[in-house]
């Protein structure tokens, strides 16, 4: 029964994804490469909308659970999709983002906490979502990395501490699998777009927040450790270079691998996903090992940049 159910969901998500492709073709929702891109051909944008479809199906099929979260996800997905169609000003996007965050915080039930705790949660949540968006630059990386994080969360939910309905993680994994079918290729059929990277980041922040709040254990933030090391150290590097950190760039470690070192995109994506799985399960087993591996990863990043950054073109 479960097999037929999940197979039906998978098929429905495929149909939704293909229907979106028709819409994107008709309305010319495409990603044109520029000098900062890691791809060379015009590709459909916004294929990551299937992540929202997965969350919505969960909400409709599982008794309308987590309504504030789903409402916040709908708001942030809608404004992100609008931004994919035509760039929106930050003044227009930010209010939607903050309202979406407030709704997620309502679902977490943290508005009775101290103001500085809420502020910390806001800063971390906004930082993670933006980092996830910035890291979406080569074929497969968003899908592979998201599967790694979701697998880690599912393992904890089943074997360590249940903090959320398993069905939400299962359906999100199915949605990511559908996206990977079209994106995890040498020549991708579609890119996630802001609607994809921001939506899946919002879902992961929600799940990770639920886990940390229910266990009181902040070590689980290492489930995003690989992205965290690359994002934070790249920002620090750009600050040393006196660059505007809000402008698009190609200075992440994965971009140097894919562009300057000509490593296949899919190999780089698998490397990031594999490293995250190792780090996540190290953190689950022993927090000291998890922290030590994170430090080792940061040192490796610095050594890699010292050796190869001189090849950077832009």
Distance between CA atoms of residues 50 and 10, nearest Å: 11
Residue 40 Cα to chain centre, angstroms: 23
User: How do residues 49-82 score in pLDDT, each as one tens digit?
Assistant: 999 999 999 999 999 999 999 999 999 999 999 9
**pLDDT at position 74, please?**
98
Residue 241: name the closest of 133, 136, 314, 137 by CA. 314
> In whole numbers, what is the pLDDT of the chain averaged over residues?
94
User: How do residues 213-255 score in pLDDT, each as one tens digit?
Assistant: 999 999 999 999 999 999 999 999 999 999 998 788 889 999 9
pTM of the model: 0.95
Q: Which of 14-18, 89-93, 185-189, 299-303 has the lowest mean pLDDT?
A: 89-93
**pLDDT at position 52, please?**
98
Burial of 303 by CB count in 10 Å (0-12 exposed, 13-18 middle, 19+ buried)? exposed
């Amino acid at each position: 029964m479960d097999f037929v159910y999940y197979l039906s969901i998978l098929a429905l998500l495929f149909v939704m994804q293909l229907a979106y492709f028709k819409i994107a073709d008709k309305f010319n929702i495409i990603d044109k490469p520029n000098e900062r891109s890691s791809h060379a051909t015009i590709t459909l944008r916004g294929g990551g909308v299937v992540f929202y479809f997965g969350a919505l199906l969960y909400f409709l099929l599982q008794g309308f659970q987590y309504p504030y979260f789903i409402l916040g996800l709908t708001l942030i997905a809608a404004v992100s999709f609008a931004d994919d169609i035509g760039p929106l000003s930050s003044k227009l996007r930010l209010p939607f983002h903050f309202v979406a965050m407030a709704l997620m915080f309502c679902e977490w039930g943290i508005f009775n906490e101290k103001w500085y705790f809420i502020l910390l949660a806001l800063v971390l949540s906004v930082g993670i979502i933006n980092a996830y968006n910035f890291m979406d630059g080569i074929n497969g990386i968003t899908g592979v990395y998201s599967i790694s994080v979701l697998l880690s969360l599912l393992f904890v939910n089943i074997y360590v501490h249940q903090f959320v309905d398993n069905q939400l993680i299962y359906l999100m994994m199915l949605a990511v699998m559908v996206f990977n079918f079209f994106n995890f290729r040498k020549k991708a059929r579609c890119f996630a777009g802001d609607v994809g990277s921001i939506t899946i980041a919002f879902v992961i922040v929600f799940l990770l927040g639920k886990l940390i709040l229910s266990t009181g254990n902040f070590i689980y933030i290492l489930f995003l450790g690989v992205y965290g090391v690359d994002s934070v150290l790249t920002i620090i590097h750009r600050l040393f270079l006196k660059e505007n950190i809000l402008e698009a760039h190609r200075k992440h470690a994965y971009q140097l691998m894919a562009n300057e070192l000509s490593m296949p995109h899919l190999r780089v994506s698998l490397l990031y996903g594999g490293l995250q799985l190792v780090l996540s399960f190290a953190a689950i087993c022993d927090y000291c090992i998890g922290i030590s591996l994170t430090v080792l990863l940061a040192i490796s990043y610095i050594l890699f940049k010292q050796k190869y950054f001189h090849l950077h073109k832009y």
